[in-house]
Chain A
Amino acid sequence: MRTRIEITGENRPDEVVIYCKEITPETKAIEALLNRRFAEPSGLSFYKGDQQFFLSLREVLFFDTEDNHVYAHTKDSSYEVRMRLYELEAALPRYFVRVSRSSIVSILNVFSIHKNLTGLSLLTFRDTHKEIYCSRMYGKELAMKMNERYLYENS
């Protein structure tokens, strides 16, 4: 299959169109992959007390659990998400990856990974003081996803 990228005007939204003679399992798989990649999970709301916020998932650095509550962390704030972490993991786009039993991180926002002797990795994010650890168990998957991001951004 041939791939082509066209640069459009700034006012037009980004769009992916698949031109094909017929719908095959391959095209369906590509469509599903794109949908998962860009879709925002339905019903995901962010709260501070009784106030509901509407954020883009791109703003979220990571989700973590604290005393049975799940919080979404942005650069300068955090919001409660009224879902379980495993529900979130299933619903989130593929650029979110589990990094420990209690946290899911957005690979789009990871700035650095500092590995230590014990096999854990400390993840930092651009323009924020926030940090989070990635446990040994999830290190390989994170590395794979970061590699994917690198290839995507530099190809």
Chain B
Amino acid sequence: MRTAKEKSGYKFPLFGILLIVFAVLLGLQALGIADDYFYVKVAFSVLLGGISIYSLFRLRFIVTFLPVVGVLYIWRDMLGIQNVNFWALALPAFLLGVGLSMIVHRSHPERAFVWHVNSNSDTDEEIAGEDAEGVVFANCRFGEKTRYIHLETVKKCVFDMQFGEMKIFFDASTIAEQGMVIQANVGFGELELTVPKTWEIDNHVSVFAGTVTEPEVISSESRTKVRLAGNVNFGEITIRYI
């Protein structure tokens, strides 16, 4: 069995590279080779720019615009906007992000969904032809929520979690004959999945600055595989066995 670290699916190399670059620049500055925080500014700008571009491709507009504000603020002297208030910039960026998210995700929910899907996952195609029965949807934005799944046979679950915490309990549900897929999109939050010990979570989640943690289970019983796909950006998915 893979360890929790292996299961976290930490595959995005850009973030790791940026952290290393950042560490090197900090070291140079500590040694007095760089001055005036120039390298730190560059490193932060690259980091924030990376987050912004990454988020744009996933249609996560809030996380796209806020880093741009950060970059503008870092270089405010060079841009001639020394007296700008960070919060005065952040608020319109946040509202812009919320507004665009509402328009794009409402008018093209299927498009937004596809963008969110893990690149090495084929889960959407597997389920695309299925009817709505056996599919569970749950979303949570800016809040906390518990949800108990009572569906007798579950084929697919779609969880969308932004800025909050959601706890899902599967103790009263069974997996459909053709298997089950959990599609989880988590941004700035925590999703906790409580599943029976007889399930085995097959982790295919794409993680950016987050984790998927799963305790090791020693069980002599045969376990049914459940595919866990989706994205975690600045968040966490925790699996709990009961």
Contacts and interface: CB of A to CB of B under 8 A. Distances in A.
A133 B148 CA distance: 12
Contact of B148 (A71, A118, A120, A122): A71
Contacts of B150: 66, 69, 71, 78, 80
B82 interface: no
Contacts of A64: 146, 148
B165 to A, nearest CB: 8
Nearest to B192: A131
B223 interface: no
Q: Is the interface of B mostly helix, strand, loop or mixed?
A: strand
Given A77-B172, A78-B172, A132 B146 contact: yes
Contacts of B143: 118, 120
Contacts, number: 34
Interface string A64-82: 1010010101001110100
Given A78-B172, A130-B169, A66 B147 contact: yes
B171 A129 contact: yes
Given A66-B150, A69-B150, A133 B172 contact: no
Interface in A65-119: 66, 69, 71, 73, 76-78, 80, 116, 118
Given A129-B242, A131-B167, A66 B146 contact: no
Nearest to A128: B242
A71 B148 CA distance: 9
Contacts of B171: 76, 129
B45 to A, nearest CB: 31
Contacts of A80: 150
Nearest to A134: B144
B141 interface: no
A98 to B, nearest CB: 15
B148 A66 contact: yes
Interface in B135-169: 143-148, 150, 167, 169
Interface string A45-68: 000000000000000000010100
B194 interface: yes
